[in-house]
Amino acid sequence: MVFLGGASILLLVALLLISLPWLMRTKRVQQDVLTNTRLVNLRLSELAVEQEQGLLSQSDRVQAENELKVALLDEVKDSVAQQQSTLWILVIGMSIGVAVAGTVYFKANQLSQINAWQDAISRLPELGKSINNKQDISSQELQDFALGLRTRLHEEPDNAVGWMLLGRVWGALNQPQTAKDAFEKSIQLNPKSVGALLSYAQALILIGSEGDIQQAKRVLRGVLELEPDNVNALGTLAVVSTELGDKISAQGYWQRLQAGLPPSDPNYAMVQQKIDELAANNSADTQSAAAPTKVVGEGARVVITVQIDEVLLAKLPENGILFVFAQDASGQVRMPAAVVKLPLTQFPVTVELSDANAMMANYSLSSLSKAKLVARVSRDENVAQAAGELQGEITIDLQVDELTQQTILIDKELM
């Protein structure tokens, strides 16, 4: 309203400036007519005096008066006609000016976009409810929802859930780069949001560059630190590792995923098929230690295939837990530098130890030059050693930014 009021005042001022010359000219013409009228009246008085003095006859005086009156009448008619002509020109010019100004205003101010924006804001709760209820929603409605939500986030920039939801909407609109930026904002506000981390990893995978996929792997490992049995993170890591050719790690993730599925689950057989395929491809590598592979920028990594002696199979606890961890081989530090815990499943089992599995930020696998790798089957979730538990171990050398493949045979019962 303030804008429209100001625009109206400016338009009136412009019209006044346009009409001012015409008003001044009209006033000048009127003054000229008045002056000429006075002159004619004066001349008429002079003609009367001249007749009295005998200088003019009656007929000459009447003729002269008629000529003066006709000349004055013609001048008045000309001025009136001129004023009317000028008035029409002024009216037409002002109309054209108003029309041009209105056209420019309605074209330039994007009123339709403003109306759409205001409509999106008003429909934000309705659209959000439709999305939450997983109802069919059109692309245009998603765009409207994103527009309204972005406006809300401008008012509430610290709303981590809002940024995560905005990222998911952009992802649904097939704009992964924009979605990635929104997820990064959400994670910056809440670094431990599993939902935002998983969605962020999916956006990185959709972008598809090698750097983004490697970043997605690191993000998913971070999810497993928060939720070791997260099915979405395990499944995505298994697929990504397979695509990157890291089949040993992929096999481990598939096995961990299967351990959390009941045999009656329809996905159990599919996961088992993936495990069998990878096991067949990796059989030559899992029989002995493989040569180290450079993994620049990811720290030390060890892919471990855990096997068990057939003699000990009968002693496996029904609801046992498998711990695989790395310790300082010198024994000076007893705390594990990296540890993975997963429910007991069929052997062999493949797991990966890396800096992402560290228990402390300043003490990780890359801190070790010589490590003792231990695989232990426990009856409970306590990693501490106890009698009756089954264990196997090996000692290896470690190098930062190297990936090694090892095999541990569980071959003894602790006393």
pLDDT in tens, 361-391: 778 888 888 899 999 998 887 767 788 899 9
Give me the DSSP letters along 132-171.
HTT----HHHHHHHHHHHHHHHHH-TT-HHHHHHHHHHHH
Strand 370-378, strand 321-328: pairing: antiparallel
Inside any domain, residue 80: yes
Q: What is the reported pLDDT for 116?
A: 47
**Count of CB atoms situated within 10 Å of the CB of 280:** 9
- Would the CA dihedral through 21, 22, 25, 26 be positive or negative? negative
Using alpha carbons only, how large is the chain's radius of gyration in Å? Answer: 46
The rounded distance, in Å, linking the Cα atoms of 234 and 256 is 7
Q: What letter would DSSP give residue 363?
A: B
Mean pLDDT value across residues 171-198: 90
- In whole numbers, what is the pLDDT of the chain averaged over residues? 74
Write out pLDDT tens, residues 98-142.
666 566 555 555 444 445 445 544 554 554 555 555 556 667 777
Write out pLDDT tens, residues 190-205.
998 999 999 999 899 8
Write out pLDDT tens, residues 323-361.
999 998 887 778 888 888 888 878 888 888 888 888 777
Beta bridge partners, 382, equal: none
The rounded distance, in Å, linking the Cα atoms of 332 and 223 is 31
Write out pLDDT tens, residues 221-251.
888 888 887 888 888 888 888 777 777 778 7
Inside any domain, residue 351: yes
Share of the chain above pLDDT 70, in %: 62
Yes or no: say if 377 and 390 are a contact pair by the CB < 8 Å rule.
yes
Write out pLDDT tens, residues 68-89.
666 656 665 555 555 555 556 5
Q: What is the reported pLDDT for 286?
A: 46
Q: Reduced to 3 states, what is the DSSP secondary structure of residue 272? A: helix
Inside any domain, residue 165: no
Inside any domain, residue 335: yes
Strand 321-328, strand 301-308: pairing: unpaired
The rounded distance, in Å, linking the Cα atoms of 215 and 400 is 19
State the total domains in the chain: 2
pTM for the full predicted model: 0.52
- Confidence tier at 31 by pLDDT (50, 70, 90): low
Inside any domain, residue 380: yes
Domain end residue (candidates: 83, 109, 135)? 109
Phi first, then psi, for residue 192 (nearest 5°) are: -105, 20
Inside any domain, residue 59: yes
Q: What is the reported pLDDT for 375?
A: 92
Q: What is the CATH number of the domain that holds 315?
A: 2.60.40
Q: What is the reported pLDDT for 289?
A: 44
- Confidence tier at 183 by pLDDT (50, 70, 90): very high
Structure tokens at 175: 């704009």
Inside any domain, residue 233: no
Strand 349-354, strand 301-308: pairing: antiparallel
Q: What letter would DSSP give residue 292?
A: P
Domain end residue (candidates: 109, 142, 164)? 109
- Confidence tier at 185 by pLDDT (50, 70, 90): very high
Range of the domain at 18: 2-109
Inside any domain, residue 397: yes
Structure tokens at 152: 């809300």
Domain end residue (candidates: 109, 132, 150)? 109
Q: What is the reported pLDDT for 346?
A: 80
